[in-house]
Chains A and B, each alone.
Chain A
Amino acid sequence: MKKGAEWRDTNFLTPEDYTSLINRYPLRSSLIMPLLHILKERRGYLTEEDLRKVSEITGESPALIKGVGTFYSFYNFIPQGGKVRYFIQICRNVACMVAGADRLIDHLIKRYELIPAEELKKTSGPEIFHYKDPSIFSLMITECLGACGIGPAMLVNGRLFGRLDIEKIEEIMDSIINGSFDDMKNGQSTLSQIDVFPMEPESLLLKTLDCIDIDSYREKGGYTALKKAFQLKPEEIIDLVKASGLRGRGGAGFPTGMKWAFARQDPKRPKYLIANADEGEPGTYKDRIILGRNPHQLVEGMIISAYAIGAEVGYIYLRYEYPEVIPVLEEAIRSARSEGYLGENILGTGFNFDIFIHRGAGAYICGEETALIESLEGKRGQPRIRPPFPVNSGLSGRPTVVNNVETIANIPVILNIGATSYQGIGSKDAPGPKLFSISGVRRPGVYEVPTGITLRELIQLAGGADDIKAVIPGGLSTPVLTAADLDCPLDFSGLASKKSMLGTGAVMVFSSSHCMVRIAMRAMSFYRDESCGKCTPCREGTGWLENILKRIEDGRAGEDDLELLEEICGNISGKTFCALGDAAACVVTGMLRHFKDEFKEHIRLGRCPIGEETTTVTSPPGEKYD
């Protein structure tokens, strides 16, 4: 196996083999993204020739392919001096930023005299820097890598390195440059770097943690839920899930049983199940643990879900940044298939179902279910008009259920312990075990706890934190809370009472040494980069907000800019096509609700009152077009 590329070649085929890919999808256009992945990996970038090739195979026009390719962050169109040996992606999102990523990036650029890829600045989202010998490495500054507990983090050819500091990163970079880099030796397994804390005394979601092979999973009771499920009628399973009170774990909290019932009732066939593994919400890395360290629970959950709704094909829409889970998932699916849990006539029941992995290519918006479906259909990941909802008209116009990975992982639990016991766990309003990804605490990691635990309890469980100034409770898109809110229970109604949201259960804790303006600005450049561009308020408004926040950060703002900020947020909120714009706006309104004085102080002093330095990596918007 080639060094540094072992994750690349396991899953995907050559373009010549596309015929074996095509049977996976209802639409030929769904091949576009897998083909672009294949072609890109060959050289490290895509050319017009590649786009034409994909056009030929899929029958879609070259212009359309180009539109799709350029939508996502990780298809590069500009040759970086031929194929680079090492492609480094370093995270700059909030969690990594407060852990020191900005200073690290600044240091790297100066220390290794990296050259910004000017041609990219004009067009594509992420910023790329070349080493003076571009064939050795390129550095891409990217958004959340889903390793917020071990920030600052970066990927080297897809392999994750966390808890970076100047010394550690120099060691890696030097070894890359002098050719002695061995990622197998230097890099630990990504997943083992993230600490995981199953629920005490008895874990439900993570009982089978690290049961990668099917036998060890079964030893701990795996696939018994599936057998129980097959003794029930699909409608009975739906009723069970309804009774359990399970609500979606992806952010919106829609009752899962109800969603299933809608899809089941629609007479159209075939139906599809999609596991949303596009865990893009900054601060969140919980699904990564299920995907990579408890894969069978997802697979088992998907089979039961599919049986309940009557789906024959399932997809795992996997975010690009999680390459290391691909071999794990592939193996889990393969072994489940060979044991008769997947494929035709599963366990003699006459039920057919199979699972395929579809890789994203770097687009936060694809976590939104209709954008995800568009992406799975090989289009630009832009949300669709609703209604019709995916449960009636999703993938290829067929009834489609999109569930978060964690939601699906709860299904075997419900089957195993029963709806009544399940409903007794945690809050009435959203019962069950819940995974929280925590950063900014002494023992960051993924924690399995019952819903309704208070913020304070959770932080304490995670080793506590000093000098808490602010907490983002549910991923970047949920409004910030203060130390005064720590006794708020972590469930939908509790957080709503504090004008925030449970979101994806990603808790980010900030101390008084962190500048809220800076965090808001960083958050906004994330939304601006990730806005799909479809609707006006989000496309134009996020950039405008970022501009003003930048102005405040740089000391060029006036008092009236705060009013303007609030008014723009009001003009975005509730007027956008999907929730991304709303999220961007409510981040700022949340900040202003609790930390207006800090913003005012920033403006008055013309600098950061906390003393955070401005870094070069946060290039002011607008300059990209000069």
Chain B
Amino acid sequence: MIKVTINDRTIFLSEPLTVLEAAKRAGITIPTLCFLEGLTPWGGCRLCLVQIERMPRLQTACTTMVADGMVVRTDTEEVIKARRAILEFLLINHPLECPVCDKAGECELQDAVLLYGPSQGRFKERKRKLPEVLDDPLIVRNMKRCILCTRCIRTCQELQGADALSVVHRGDRSVIEPFSGKVFNCEYCGNCLSACPVGALVSRLSLHEYRAWLVESQKGICGFCGVGCRILIQRRGSSIGGEVTVGGRTGGNAVSPCVPPTVVRFWSNLEDTSEPNRGLTCMMGRFGYDFVNHSNRLKLPFVRIGNERYTRQIDDLLTQTASHLLEIKDKYGPGSIAAIAGGRLTNEDAYLFGKLIRGLGSNNIDSSARTGYIQMELFFEELFGPGVTANRIQGIVNSEVIVVAGGDPYQVAPVFGVHIRRAYLKGAKVLTIGYCPNLRRHRTWSMGEAEDESLVLRELTRALIEIKSTVTSPPKEEKIKRLIDILNLNDIEPSERIKEIAREISQKDLISFVLGREILQREGGLYDLISLGIMAYLLDARIFLLQNSPNEQGLIDMGLSPDMLPGGRSLTVSAWRSHLEDIWGFSITPSPGKTLYEIIEGIEKGEIKALYVAGFDPVNELPGGGRIRNALRNLELLIVQDAFFTNTMELAHIGIPVRPWPERKGSYTNMERRIQFFRNQRSEVIGREVGVSEIAGLSGEVTVGGLTGGNECSPLCTPEVTVLSDWEVFREIGKRIGINMPYTSIDELWKEICTASSLHRGLSPSELIEGVLWPYRGEPLRKTEAVIDEWIKGLTTPSGEVTVGGEVTVPVDSAYSYKIVVEKDSLLSATISRYSKALSLISGRPFVKMALKTAETLGVRDGQKVKIRSSFGGEVTVSGDDVSLPVKIEDSLPEGLIEIPGFIGETDSIGGEVTVSSEVTVWVLTGFSIGPAGAPLMDRFEISL
């Protein structure tokens, strides 16, 4: 025990702490500026000077460790004088422009001066003048305000791992700069903005737009990816019908329910160590929020007849939707109806969507999780048991070894990628398999960047089997033995390097696998998954699955799968069916429905007549957009429900606008399987959750004579319309179909979910606000019925023999000499973030990137334009025109690898306005390997001159 006395208060500590931390425990506040929880102490500002007995000089509390018997005083005259002196020094060159500084009111320097500082400074000469730097589109750098605490730099280095900032020059000439001195050109996580105690780094998006004391703050959950970051959403004070007053401007009642005011700041708190993001954000979470104001927001419900779209009153439209669905059901049977959900739906949405579709008698419901996430989860659960992928996100930081495969974690789930970097900085060994540009500076080994990833995986598996067989014991489990047989590794001879890596990995204890869905999006992907399964078994690894959208896990848990019911219960087990039937009040079709791919095929074959798509943009998000587009044209009824006028919505017969996540309530289940409830904005701000009858009066459109009347609808906004949340839409349609959906609030809905799903038993929305981890206090039983057996069937040849091992073809080695990867710079590749103007400002122009040697072999030069051809969609086009993209030589790329853009936007550089083409067909993932009946849906790209 360490005994410390601070200001006569004695405390006992079991571990050595700094004086600052000890004082905090004793309830004594010591002022700080350069100190920030979680960063290495700096000791530069000197504000935390304290007096310690037997030490001649004052000591900085943030850097001095307590010793047993230490007596500290933080309140002596000398200490107080020193604090005042430090603050007087700081104010020498700090401009007192608080009236125009965005940080005023939440500025730590301001607070410190108020509490401890002199009322007047004695510096008479001119302060240093440095101009505000407005070169960067998102971050304003105002170095005359900077107090050189270096919190931004340490955040960038130690937390983000980006090293994009540095102090340049020295002494009182020091300024903090990105490399260029102008544009940041960094990852734009914006965490430096959170770190800055003064107004030296502020967001340009809200520059001079607010006063700290006028913003409303709301804790929320970010909906951009599967990490589920906790964020603070701040908005300028306003409410519907209220007055908006910002900086003297009065806005009256101008705020419409679907156009929130422009000042919405996402503000993370670096000191908040609560999981999963520890106060960190990524560029999307930080700056991408302005998508809510994009002109492509769908504001009014519409029906399309021929090429014309007509607006409808929402209640009319919902009635019409219900009757059309019933019509199709009557005409073609319930199996002709299908539904696809996207990971942007909340748990509540997903539950009701499933209930609605099953209420129509169809089990043809699947989700975007089918693009890889669900198969991987089922595979590992079958091998290792339910919940095996539910590992806490923060836990990755403690890993000794991290193996990354199937995608760049930073691109898929940026903050999780940052945690991997933090683990590396803490000493973890990181092995990346495949193209992983964002871990370039944070990995120990890199393999299979431009080469065959499958081969790397099999060699590594082979090497590990050999080590484990000799060092410990060969795998005993029958399942694993079978997998090893399937892989047929006999002809595989691992390289020396791989053997070395395998040896080093196998000596460590805490091993984590980080797996992305791209594993299953290439030929032979299933074998790669099997390799990873064997390795995970041999190494006793923790498995983290990268979740692309915020709620794919929630969709699975809520039973949005053709063979699964809420709670992960198998549809084919009658007991579970009847449990639900009792609650739902209708009978559930006992045979499993079609998967995502089977649904697409079913549409192509004409078996499926009606498709209901919610929170998903198949044309954009599935490979072969052209093929999907053609398929969807076959439908008699396409209902698309989204916040934006998406590519898929263009084909819709019925378009239903809903609120995007920043404007609504609900819960997401993130990749660590934590349910987090959010009220991202106060409901009264955007519009109350009202019943449809209340809405009826709001729409001014007149509809006469069914489908023919009304005005042509532009998807652009007309004000004064209340938009529903997804679950409310499902409820209203459900009611009209005759399904019992009596809920008036999410709380009531949760009551039913907790009864229907034994996984969610006993949960309430209030406890979900803090987040509840798997198994959510329910019963984590899950049927994993021989998933692997089914897949293996898919791998058999017509003769019934299993063809495995050396016969797996991989796209790189045979017909194609180069490996083409689709860049997912995560800015504009996703359906929502592409609608952010802020993000479009920092995303680079599209290029076809390659190393110099690759270009020389191909015979292209820097700047030369080349065409991209997709094996599905033909040539890549934007708005029907061929796209030629310029080549860019980047030596950081490995030889033999070509990176093509995942998204091609059109930027009008003159006005700074961005128009995002809705016609882009380039968006294609790399493909799928687990298609229906084992037929791979695989997209390949060619590059032509």
Contact = CB atoms under 8 A, between A and B. Distances in A.
Contacts of A539: 89, 148, 171-172, 174
Nearest to B49: A575
Nearest to A527: B171
B217 to A, nearest CB: 31
B774 to A, nearest CB: 38
Contacts of A576: 46
A537 B178 CA distance: 26
B249 interface: no
A625 B125 CA distance: 12
Given A540-B90, A544-B123, A70 B163 contact: no
B171 A537 contact: no
Contact of A63 (B81, B165, B174): B165
Given A534-B44, A535-B46, 7 more contacts: A63-B164, A70-B170, A380-B167, A531-B172, A539-B172, A547-B123, A625-B126
Contacts of A70: 168-170
**Main SS at interface, chain A:** helix
B86 A575 contact: yes
Given A64-B163, A385-B41, A577-B43, A533 B172 contact: yes
Nearest to B43: A385
A582 B722 CA distance: 67
Contacts of B122: 564
26 contacts: A64-B166, A66-B168, A67-B168, A70-B170, A123-B173, A380-B167, A530-B171, A533-B148, A533-B167, A533-B173, A533-B174, A534-B148, A535-B44, A535-B45, A537-B46, A539-B174, A543-B171, A543-B172, A544-B123, A575-B58, A577-B43, A621-B125, A622-B126, A624-B128, A625-B126, A626-B129
B153 to A, nearest CB: 8
Interface in B111-139: 122-126, 128-130
Residue in A63, A385, A574 whose Cβ sees the most chain B Cβ within 10 Å: A63
Nearest to B122: A564
Instruction: Kindly state the interface size class of chain A when it binds its partner.
Output: 35 or more
A543 B89 CA distance: 10
A221 B147 CA distance: 57
Interface string A43-70: 0000010010000000111111011101
A522 interface: no
Contacts of B126: 622, 625-626
Interface string A520-559: 0000000011111111110111111001000100000000
A124 interface: yes
A260 interface: no
Given A60-B163, A536-B46, A66 B179 contact: yes
- Among A60, A62, A534, A576, the one with the most B-chain Cβ atoms within 10 Å of its Cβ is A534
Contacts of A540: 89-90, 92-93, 172
Nearest to B82: A575
A217 interface: no
Contacts of B167: 67, 71, 380, 533
Given A536-B45, A626-B126, A575 B168 contact: no
A67 to B, nearest CB: 3
Nearest to A533: B174
A576 B46 CA distance: 7
B894 to A, nearest CB: 15
Nearest to A56: B891
A151 interface: no
B171 A123 contact: no
Contacts of B163: 60-61, 63-64
A385 B167 CA distance: 18
A547 B169 contact: no
Contacts of B125: 547, 621-622
Contacts of A625: 126, 128-130
A543 B92 contact: yes
Contacts of B177: 63, 66
B85 interface: yes
Given A531-B171, A575-B85, A622-B126, A61 B44 contact: no
Contacts of A124: 169, 173
Interface in B218-244: none
Interface of A: 48, 51, 59-64, 66-68, 70-71, 123-125, 363, 380, 385, 528-537, 539-544, 547, 551, 564, 571, 574-577, 621-622, 624-626
Most buried by A among B89, B147, B174: B89
A533 B171 contact: yes
B331 interface: no
Interface string B37-55: 0000111111101000000
A27 to B, nearest CB: 15
Contacts of A363: 170
Interface string B67-104: 00000000000000110011011101100000000000
A574 B44 contact: no
Contacts of B57: 574-575
B63 interface: yes
Contacts of B56: 574
Contacts of A63: 163-166, 177-179
B482 interface: no
B338 interface: no
Given A535-B44, A540-B92, A571 B85 contact: yes
B162 interface: yes
A577 B44 contact: yes
B476 interface: no
Interface in B345-373: none
Contact of B173 (A544, A577, A624): A624
Given A385-B41, A533-B148, A537-B86, A622 B128 contact: yes
A571 B166 contact: no
B144 to A, nearest CB: 9
Contacts of B164: 61, 63
Nearest to A541: B89
A27 B126 CA distance: 43
A528 to B, nearest CB: 6
A62 B171 contact: no
Nearest to B169: A70
Contacts of A123: 168-169, 173
B171 A532 contact: yes
Nearest to A124: B169
Given A66-B179, A385-B41, A536 B170 contact: no
A187 B70 CA distance: 61
B172 A528 contact: yes
B341 to A, nearest CB: 42
A542 B170 CA distance: 13
Contact of B170 (A66, A533, A551): A533
B178 A71 contact: no
Contacts of A67: 166-168
A216 B191 CA distance: 62
A533 B126 CA distance: 19
Given A63-B179, A575-B46, A577-B44, A536 B89 contact: yes
Contacts of A71: 167-170
A520 to B, nearest CB: 17
A361 to B, nearest CB: 12
B66 to A, nearest CB: 13
Contacts of A380: 167, 170
B13 to A, nearest CB: 18
Nearest to B45: A536
Contacts of A60: 163
Given A535-B44, A539-B171, A574 B58 contact: yes
B43 A535 contact: yes
A404 to B, nearest CB: 23
Give the 5 A-B CB pairs with smallest separation, nearest first: A67-B166, A61-B163, A571-B85, A540-B89, A533-B174
B430 to A, nearest CB: 14
Interface string B153-197: 000000000111111111111100111100000000000000000
A477 B715 CA distance: 74
A571 B58 CA distance: 11
